[in-house]
């Protein structure tokens, strides 16, 4: 075909036979695919509930700390000593110089540093270390969400690359990658995480603050296999589409084919699986923190806050101080459920079979 000589000029298309664009061909507009998805998403009540839950958790964990910092000046690891009148404490007797026996009454005020009940200053009270529970819930949520997002992004990235290569190239590449996936998938996740975390805890050269990064790396390693499987499956399906054959006939580079044609088309599934995965990571992180293998102690985490009620440390907190562990548990439930609801809603919204 002759190369256009009138370079840069606006092409003259007035002579085009079809140019007589009429009101009949442009007589209606469609809904853009993005809006279609939004529309279908909001059709389901459950996904709206899920969205509300997640928005609440986000505001609570990311805006909350600022507010509480500015209004009360509370910090994550600030110890609060609560004043308490202790004016009838001692019944110790001692002999006076006059030979009579006196009772000892201590009328002074003591400062108790733990287990304050909910009050105006501390809406949810303070815990065994004298930390404000509400504040710690906020910080704990922040760390949980950050960890889960980073982990999900990393594992999706890893999964896309490996799954994409496996699905596209097939043959031995597929065999190798999928066998690795199989191996990872058959490892029991939780025990391995426990062992690894415990090992890291015992290595002294690793500072406690860095433990969290290792934790994220482990969670990523455990999670990418699911993504890789989804991507590979999708790509195997999409590879048979005629547009892939068209890409082959036009001689486009394999890498372009994978990452421009195939991967973008797996996005809906990936978004769904990532959303559903977020809840899972939060659960994992909480479990580890509960076993004090996750986020290290002075930092707050929902898991470790629930751990205060661990019966092995005595029944007292479990029985008499619900303010210490119930809110953390509730927040975990809200976060996990919220992500699940959103994920389900998104899946239905993306699924073309739902099209009406």
Partner 1 sequence: MGLLDKFKRKKIEGIDDSTYLTLREERRISRENTKTIKEYERIRNRKNVSEEEYLTQMRDPANVVEFDNLHTYFFTDVGTVKAVNGVSFDIPQGKIVGVVGESGCGKSVTSLSLMQLVQAPTGQITQGSIRYQDEDGKCYDVTKMPRDKMLRIRGKDIAMIFQEPMTSLNPVFKVGEQMDEVILLHEEDSTDDSARERSIEMLNLVGIADVKKVYNSYPHELSGGMRQRVMIAMALLCNPRLIIADEPTTALDVTIQAQILELLRDVKEKINGSIMFITHDLGVIAEMADYVVVMYAGRIIEQGTVREIFHEPKHPYTIGLMRSKPGGHVEGDRLYSIRGQVPNPINMPNHCYFYNRCDKAMDICKRHYPAMTQFNSDHRAACFLYSDEILPEEKEDKEDGEGR
Partner 2 sequence: MAIEKMDLTTTNDDILVVNNLKKYYPLSKFTIKKDPVSVRAVDDISFTIKRGTTMGLVGESGCGKTTVGRTILRLHEVTDGQVIFDGKDLAKVPRRKLRKMRPQMQMIFQDPYSSLSPRLPVGEIIGEAVKEHNIVPKSKYRSYILKVMRDCGLQPQYYYRYPHEFSGGQRQRISIARAVALNPKFIICDEPLSALDVSIQSQIINLMKDLQEQHGYTYLFISHDLSVVEYISDTIGVMYLGSMMEMGDKKKVFANPMHPYSKALLSAVPVSDPDVKMNRIVLKGDIPSPINPPSGCKFRTRCPYAMPICAEKAPVFKEYEENHKVACHLYSQD
Sites of contact with partner 2 (CB under 8 A): 1, 3-4, 6-9, 11, 13, 16-19, 21, 30, 33, 241-243, 245-253, 256, 260-261, 264-265
Half-sphere exposure of 290 (CA within 13 A, CB side): 19
Contacted by 205, from partner 1, partner 2, none: CB < 5 to 8 Å by type: none
Q: Are strands 93-95 and 109-112 parallel, antiparallel or unpaired?
A: unpaired
Query: Where does this chain touch partner 1 (CB under 8 A) — which range of 24-32, 68-76, 149-157, 254-262?
Result: 24-32
Q: Which is nearer to partner 2, 19 or 356 (CB)?
A: 19
- Counting every residue written for the chain, the total comes to 356
Residue 84's closest CA among 24, 126, 54, 124? 126
Of 51, 50, 54, 49, the closest CA to residue 141 belongs to: 54
d(CA 38, CA 33): 9
Residue 261 binds which entry of partner 2, partner 1, none, CB below 5-8 Å type-dependent: partner 2
The dihedral sign for the CA sequence 240, 242, 243, 246: positive
Residue 171 site contact among partner 1, partner 2, none (CB < 5 to 8 Å, cut-off depends on kind):
none
Could you identify the residue written with the tokens 């993504």?
Answer: 227
Q: Which does 256 bind (CB under 5 to 8 A by kind): partner 1, partner 2, none?
A: partner 2
Query: Which residues are bridge partners to 110 per DSSP?
Result: 84
Task: State which of positions 78-137 bind partner 1 (CB under 8 A).
Answer: none
Work out which of 2, 3, 30, 203 binds partner 1, going by CB under 8 A. Answer: 30
Q: Is 33 in the site for partner 1 (CB under 8 A)?
A: yes
- Min. distance of Cβ 259 from partner 1 in angstroms? 17
Contacts of 89 (CB under 8 A, 6+ apart): 105, 106
Closer of 32 and 101 to partner 1 (Cβ): 32
Contact set with partner 1 (CB under 8 A) = 17-18, 20, 22-36, 39, 356
């Amino acid at each position: 075909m002759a190369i256009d000589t009138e370079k840069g000029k606006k092409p003259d298309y007035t002579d085009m036979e079809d140019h007589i664009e009429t009101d009949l061909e442009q007589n209606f507009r469609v809904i853009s695919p993005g809006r279609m998805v939004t529309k279908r998403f909001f059709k389901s009540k459950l996904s709206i509930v899920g969205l509300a839950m997640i928005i609440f958790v986000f505001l609570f964990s990311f805006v909350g700390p600022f507010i509480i910092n500015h209004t009360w000046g509370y910090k994550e690891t600030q110890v609060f000593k609560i004043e308490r009148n202790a004016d009838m404490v001692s019944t110790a007797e001692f002999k006076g110089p006059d030979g009579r026996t006196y009772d000892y009454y201590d009328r002074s005020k003591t400062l108790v540093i733990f287990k304050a009940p909910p009050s105006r200053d501390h809406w949810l009270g303070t815990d065994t270390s004298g930390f404000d529970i509400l504040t710690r819930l906020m910080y704990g949520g922040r760390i949980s969400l950050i960890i889960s997002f980073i982990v999900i992004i990393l594992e999706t990235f890893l999964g896309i690359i490996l799954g994409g290569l496996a699905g596209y190239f097939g043959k031995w590449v597929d065999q190798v990658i999928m066998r690795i996936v199989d191996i990872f998938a058959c490892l029991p996740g939780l025990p391995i995480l426990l062992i690894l975390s415990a090992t890291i805890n015992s290595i002294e050269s690793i500072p406690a603050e860095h433990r969290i990064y290792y934790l994220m790396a482990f969670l990523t390693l455990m999670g990418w296999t699911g993504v890789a499987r989804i991507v590979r499956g999708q790509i195997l399906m999409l590879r048979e589409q005629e547009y892939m054959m068209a890409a082959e006939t036009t001689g486009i580079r394999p890498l372009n084919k994978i990452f421009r044609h195939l991967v973008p088309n797996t996005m809906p599934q990936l978004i769904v699986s990532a959303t559903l995965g977020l809840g899972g990571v939060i659960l994992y992180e909480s479990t580890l923190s509960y076993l004090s293998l996750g986020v290290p102690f002075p930092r707050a985490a929902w898991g470790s806050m629930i751990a205060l009620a661990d019966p092995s440390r005595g029944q007292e907190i479990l029985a008499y101080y619900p303010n210490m562990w119930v809110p953390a548990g509730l927040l975990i439930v809200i976060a996990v459920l919220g992500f699940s609801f959103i994920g389900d809603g998104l899946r239905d919204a993306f699924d073309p079979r739902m099209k009406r």
